[in-house]
Structure 1
Amino acid sequence: MIRRFYKEVTLGQQPGGWQVLLDGRGLKTVGGAPQIVPTQALGETLAAEWRRQGEKIDPASLPLRDMADYAIDVAAPDPAALAEGLIAYAETDTLCYRADPDEPLHTRQQELWEPLLGAFEAAHGITLVRVNGVLHRPQPPEAMAAIRSRLLALDPFALAGVETMAKLAASLVTALCALDAQQEDEPLALWRMACLEEDWQADLWGRDEEAEQRRTRREGDFLRACGFARLARS
């Protein structure tokens, strides 16, 4: 931690967006670029992180600042590379991998995952392969091409948020659905659906306190990334 070096946190409008100002000085990213975000709503949320700091600054309590840095320094210069990396999550999307049909878990997966996956396919005009078991089966190239196009249409801030969500959920479908969610509680419901198998095993074999704490942290990270991506579009 470092001692707090500023008194006033404000938000200034700049060419291309909004920038947090500490005592009138605009923040920069780790890479040295002006940390300018596309919407006032996201800028206000970033400013709130700095206002919450006490006498000492805790870097761990500035996760949205880190995501903004990543969007500007990494995603913006080469969005195609980031999108290509995300295609791997579509190739092995959790929602496409089901238990064997004679297992009770399969029935639950069908109930929760199939409507979501079907709606995603309809929205994107694609068909994804469902797999029983863990052996990999490739997805249709035309489906991957459509998803790649969707990713490349996102701005760097939304793309950064989607990447974080996809990694946490092991599901690009879940991440994109959370980005497009219409209801406030929908991202949380989507996260919990992605964790169906994990919860199933925990209910079957018992819950571990440390595992539950990790799960809670991951849930918070998922929802934070979702909020970041959605605020960048508002």
Structure 2
Amino acid sequence: MSILKPKRFWKEATPEPVENGWQVALDGRPVRTPAKRLMVLPTQELAQAVASEWDAQEAEIDPSVMPFTRMSNSALDKVAVQHDAVAEMLAEYGGSDLLCYRATHPQALISRQADAWDPVLDWAAQNLGIQLQVVSGVMPVVQSQADLTQMQQLVQQLDDFRLAAFHDLVSMSGSLILAFAAVRNFSETEYIWQVSRVDETWQAEQWGVDEEAAAQAEYKRQEFLHAKRFFDLSSPA
């Protein structure tokens, strides 16, 4: 059974200044979220990006090609109503961060993880005040309460829109530290994504590429890059 998509009913989508931010108007009618909230956006740049997505729609509306609109909806309908809970959930990633769990063999993989991950952990210690402990194997390592508290505070400081983007950066990479590295421009976003894929890249080199896994990885990569772009567009100049 096919699902009918809503039809385009407007001629022009335009960003407009409003109190406390910007909105997108479709022939003068403001866009609302699925929960019927007015979509008030924090910056003109983000409003322009959302307006461009609406303008790009043809006969039917296809939400799958409107990532800035989707994340704006998420920020307003989901994150804004449970900000503290979302921040707490994301901060918990730091207690079992990807970068802290290292292979026990072979040496080539151990070295590759160290080369990719140690510089990011060093950066976090110097710039975030977070000094996570590293362990070989899968046995859990207990991070200090001071570091756990610091991670919680840093995540809580993010506003609703940037927290929505941060959510995808963490969940796509599996690392709170890499998400912070992305939003604070430790390196190019593409490089940070590749750093999150050290283990998967190693496995593909040893056993060959699984097409289904590769397709899923590419989807996550695109979501990671989009989340960084959304974070930047949501940040006031």
Q: Same fold (TM over 0.5)?
A: yes
> 1:158 Cα shift?
0.7
SS across alignment from 1:32: coil
Match of 1:233 in 2: 235
Match of 1:141 in 2: 145
Q: Distance in 2 between matches of 1:122 and 1:100?
A: 27
Q: Distance in 2 between matches of 1:214 and 1:78?
A: 29
Letter in structure 2 aligned against 1:146 = Q
> 1:50 Cα shift?
0.6
Aligned-residue RMSD, C-alpha: 1.3
User: Which one of the candidate residues 215, 218, 229 is aligned to 2:217?
Assistant: 215
Match of 1:79 in 2: 83
**Contact map agreement 2:8 2:61 (CA 8 A) in 1:** yes
Letter in structure 1 aligned against 2:80 = A
> 1:197 Cα shift?
0.5
TM-score normalised by length of structure 1: 0.95
Q: Distance in 2 between matches of 1:55 and 1:182?
A: 42
Taking every aligned residue pair, what percent have the same amino acid on both sides?
34
Question: How do residues 66-145 of structure 1 correspond to structure 2 at under 5 angstroms?
Answer: 66-100=70-104, 103-145=107-149
Q: Which runs of 4+ in 1 moved over 3 A?
A: none
TM-score normalised by length of structure 2: 0.94
**Contact map agreement 1:101 1:107 (CA 8 A) in 2:** no
**Contact map agreement 1:9 1:47 (CA 8 A) in 2:** yes
Q: Name structure 1 gaps, 5 residues minimum.
A: none
Structure 1 pair 73–213 and aligned structure 2 pair: CA distance change class (3 A): same
Mean CA deviation greater in 152-161 or 101-110: 101-110
Q: Distance in 2 between matches of 1:5 and 1:90?
A: 45
Letter in structure 1 aligned against 2:222 = G
Q: Distance in 1 between matches of 2:35 and 2:77?
A: 6
> 1:77 Cα shift?
2.8
Letter in structure 2 aligned against 1:206 = G
User: Which one of the candidate residues 3, 25, 28 is aligned to 1:24?
Assistant: 28
**Contact map agreement 2:124 2:131 (CA 8 A) in 1:** no
Letter in structure 1 aligned against 2:228 = C
Encode CA deviations 1:106-136: one digit per residue, 9 max, x unaligned. 1011111101111012112231111211121
SS across alignment from 1:48: helix
Q: Distance in 2 between matches of 1:101 and 1:145?
A: 33
User: Which one of the candidate residues 160, 178, 183 is aligned to 2:182?
Assistant: 178
Q: Distance in 1 between matches of 2:77 and 2:219?
A: 25
Q: Distance in 2 between matches of 1:132 and 1:179?
A: 28
> 1:29 Cα shift?
1.2
Q: Distance in 2 between matches of 1:182 and 1:142?
A: 23
Match of 2:14 in 1: 10
Q: Name structure 2 gaps, 5 residues minimum.
A: none
SS across alignment from 2:23: strand
